[in-house]
């Protein structure tokens, strides 16, 4: 077996590979960029080599730097993980010429399946069904337009070299073809250095089923059953499960055998995944092959009891597959939910920031969290926004689903917008619970994106404001008591900075700006507490909290409450006949609150200030996230109509199109293609047409 391997990746997959290598007694070498100097994967490996700036094309995608790091540290093999160089045939070739084992398939196999058009041709020759489409090399626009008419609508434009949901657009009618074609080509060129595309008939109600295959150098090929990956947004998977619900044994056998034939057709070696679309009539069609380990491989591990990274290492070292097809079997059911730094209510826009607070679910042999970040780490604009993978197992699908619900309820992240609340909404949808899903499930059943990730109907900004007021008062009381204890005269009222007033109860006038994922409310809270009550924090014998709200507010104008801090970050408030339990993190600039699985951000305002209005100037279109301008479609003086595309900003593997919100004239364009923008930067201005 290898004595030392280099892991040419970062984040959770690098940590995942290091964990198995450690179990097998194999030393590991990490590589890291400037942005990852203190990253978890760097600390979990035995050695670490710096390879360049934060930008991936100057660090993790630099083949020569990776090879030099392996040679410098004496690593015998390189595990590429997934993403970055994992499906780069040139990298696999370079490893071979430098006498370093590439833990994956041959360069020829990667090239065969790296081109989606070539892959279609290979598997069709092996009698594996493919969708009607166009996969020729001629990329002339008129040829593609004519091919689209032949294929028929709706159709899917796919980047030939694409992956990870990038370089894909659904086109429902010919009017949108040219715009979508240009977008896919631009995105593909930027991400993969190749703007070639193919066209396929789009199946709107299909399920995304993939088969895990494994092959060794001795001619053995097996499949480790299927995964259902239909729960997607932006063509990227959100929740995966294994085995697929409502899968029959006969269909499993047919799809598994087809996947094995795909691997044999290219003399494959190592771990791979054959992805199929499964139509409602149970006819399946080849989509693509991923010549690497998949993000969702843990669900296969949990239902088979196998460590797929260990299989990779053994096969790469020349061993035969550990098991034959007949000795593999399915045990129970597993789900994987991907926890992303993103805002579901704003079209799943990627988010950045500091993980000020992170509390993971209770982990066991049935619940696992694969992550590469810790509390206090930064989610930057440079890499994929996935924070972690939550994986659960149960004796059957209902048991696994219950475990998923419990784990999502326990998972808390504050400081970065995330999709945990959305995952909870998604996993409790009645149709999802029945396994009745397809690739358009999120689009069809969660079309009102503005409602995603928000508080429940029972939760209002007023509840959150009251939580904030109680938290501030309790923290103020703690500070007062600490000052008293340190004072030379602890009983002097002049040395205590509380709300005491002569012949009056203590009173605080507080004003907050309370924001959920899309909406912001401003409210004023007047809190009155008797000095005696302050010694007991805030209890039901106090004067309570008076909330100054509009007359139509659906709660009482004066509320009595009892509150106590049970730790630095956890607070309980008894509000009338309700019990509010919340996690609070004070960053100094804002107060972050996690209540009933939903995140809120609270800005403390000075009631005496007239500068609390943070609304932006009319006509300004600002950057929704930090990123790079990849296209500018207008110039100063252009007249545009509502909905027209103006500019495209790319960050964290996602393009965000800035559209005109009104009919107007472009007053100014402040960035050009290739320039970096920060969140909130003014990109353009529009003067409304009267």
Question: CA 394, CA 353: separation in Å to the nearest integer?
Answer: 34
pTM: 0.85
Give every CB contact of residue 524 below 8 A, 6+ residues apart in sequence.
509, 510, 511, 547, 548, 607
Is 543 buried (19+), middle (13-18) or exposed (0-12) by CB count in 10 A?
middle
Do residues 264 and 214 lie in contact, with contact meaning Cβ atoms separated by under 8 Å?
no
Query: Can you tell me the distance from the alpha carbon of 362 to that of 367, in angstroms, rounded to the nearest whole number?
Result: 7
Tell me which of 16, 169, 233, 292 is the catalytic residue: 292
Question: Which residues of the chain carry a pLDDT beneath 50?
Answer: 503-505, 529-543, 550, 554, 610-617
Catalytic annotation present for 564? no
Q: Which residues of 351-385 are buried (b: 16+ CB within 10 A; e: fewer)?
A: bbbebbbbebbeeeebbbbbbbbeeebbbbbbbbb
For the chain, domains (ranges, CATH) are: 4-103 (3.40.50.20), 132-201 (3.30.1490.20), 332-453 (3.30.470.20), 461-605 (3.30.700), 620-688 (2.40.50.100)
Q: 243: cis peptide before it, omega within 30°?
A: yes
Helices 63-73 + 89-97 axis angle, to 10: 30
pLDDT tens digits, 112-146: 998 889 999 999 999 999 999 999 989 999 999 99
How many H helices and E strands in the chain?
17, 40
Q: How far is CA 519 from CA 450, 454, 607, in A?
A: 9, 9, 21
Could you tell me whether strands 676-677 and 627-632 are parallel, antiparallel, or unpaired per DSSP bridges?
A: antiparallel
In DSSP terms, 508 is beta-bridged to 527
Residue 420: the pLDDT is 95
Query: How, if at all, do strands 77-79 and 4-7 pair?
Result: parallel
3-class DSSP assignment, residue 563: strand
The pLDDT, as a whole number, for residue 474 is 82
- What's residue 532's pLDDT? 28
Per-residue pLDDT at 539: 33
pLDDT at 146: 94
Q: What is the pLDDT of residues 208-259, one digit of tens each?
A: 999 999 999 999 999 999 999 999 998 899 999 999 999 999 999 999 999 9
């Amino acid at each position: 077996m290898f004595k030392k391997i280099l892991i040419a990746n970062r984040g959770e997959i690098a940590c995942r590979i290091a964990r198995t290598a450690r179990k097998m007694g194999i030393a590991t070498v990490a590589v890291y960029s400037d942005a990852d100097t203190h990253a978890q994967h760097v600390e979990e490996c035995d050695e670490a080599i710096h390879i360049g700036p934060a930008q991936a094309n100057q660090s993790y995608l630099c083949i020569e730097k990776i090879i030099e790091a392996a040679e410098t540290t004496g690593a015998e093999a390189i595990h590429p993980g997934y993403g970055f160089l994992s499906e780069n045939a040139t990298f696999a070739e370079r490893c071979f010429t430098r006498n370093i084992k590439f833990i994956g398939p041959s360069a020829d196999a990667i090239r065969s399946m790296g081109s989606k058009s070539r892959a279609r041709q290979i598997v069709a020759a092996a009698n594996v069904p493919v969708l009607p489409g166009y996969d020729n090399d001629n990329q002339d626009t008129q040829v593609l337009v004519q091919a689209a008419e032949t294929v028929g609508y709706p159709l899917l434009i796919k980047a030939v070299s694409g992956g990870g949901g990038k370089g894909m657009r659904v086109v429902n009618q010919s009017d949108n073809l040219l715009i979508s074609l240009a977008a896919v080509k631009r995105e593909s060129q930027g991400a993969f250095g190749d703007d070639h595309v193919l066209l396929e008939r789009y199946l709107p109600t299909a399920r995304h089923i993939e088969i895990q295959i494994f092959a060794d150098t001795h001619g053995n090929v097996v499949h480790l059953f299927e995964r259902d990956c239909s729960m997607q947004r932006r063509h990227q998977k959100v929740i995966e499960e294994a085995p697929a619900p409502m899968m029959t044994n006969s269909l499993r056998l047919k799809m598994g055998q087809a996947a094995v034939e795909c691997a044999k057709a290219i003399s494959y070696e190592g771990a791979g995944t054959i992805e199929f679309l499964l139509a409602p009539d149970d006819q399946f069609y080849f989509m693509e092959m991923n010549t690497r380990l998949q993000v969702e491989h843990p669900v296969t591990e949990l239902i088979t009891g196998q460590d797929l990274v260990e299989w990779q290492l053994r096969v790469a070292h020349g061993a035969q597959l550990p098991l034959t097809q007949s000795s593999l079997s399915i045990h129970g059911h597993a789900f994987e939910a991907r926890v992303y730094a993103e805002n579901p209510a704003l079209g799943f826009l990627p988010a950045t920031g500091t993980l000020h607070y992170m509390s993971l679910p209770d982990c066991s042999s049935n619940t696992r969290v694969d992550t590469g970040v810790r509390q206090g780490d930064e989610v930057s604009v440079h890499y994929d926004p996935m924070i972690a993978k939550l994986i659960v197992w149960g004796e059957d699908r209902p048991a696994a689903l219950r475990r998923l619900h419990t784990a999502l309820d326990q998972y808390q992240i504050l400081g970065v917008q995330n999709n945990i609340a959305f995952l909870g909404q998604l996993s409790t949808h009645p149709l999802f619970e029945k396994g009745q899903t397809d690739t358009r499930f999120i689009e069809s059943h969660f079309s009102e994106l503005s409602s995603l990730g928000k508080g429940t109907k029972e939760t209002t900004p007023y509840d959150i404001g009251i939580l904030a007021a109680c938290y501030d008062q309790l923290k103020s009381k703690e500070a007062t008591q600490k000052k008293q204890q340190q004072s030379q005269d602890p009983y002097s009222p002049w040395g205590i900075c509380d709300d005491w007033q002569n012949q009056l109860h203590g009173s605080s006038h507080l004003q907050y700006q309370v924001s959920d994922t899309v909406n912001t409310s401003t409210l004023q809270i007047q809190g009155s507490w008797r000095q005696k009550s302050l010694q007991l924090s805030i209890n039901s014998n106090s004067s309570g909290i008076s909330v100054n709200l509009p007359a139509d507010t659906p709660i009482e104008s004066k509320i009595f409450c009892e509150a106590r801090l049970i730790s630095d970050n956890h607070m309980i408030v008894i509000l009338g006949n309700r019990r509010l339990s919340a996690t609070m993190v004070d960053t100094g600039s804002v107060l972050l609150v996690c209540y009933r699985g939903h995140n809120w951000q609270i800005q403390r305002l000075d009631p005496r200030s007239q500068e609390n209005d943070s609304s932006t100037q009319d006509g300004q279109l600002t950057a929704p996230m930090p990123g790079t301008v990849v296209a500018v479609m207008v110039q100063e003086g252009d007249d545009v109509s509502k909905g027209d595309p103006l500019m495209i900003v790319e960050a964290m593997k996602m393009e965000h199109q800035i559209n005109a919100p009104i009919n107007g004239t472009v007053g100014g364009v402040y960035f050009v293609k290739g320039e970096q923008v920060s969140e909130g930067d003014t990109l353009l201005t529009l003067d409304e047409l009267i």
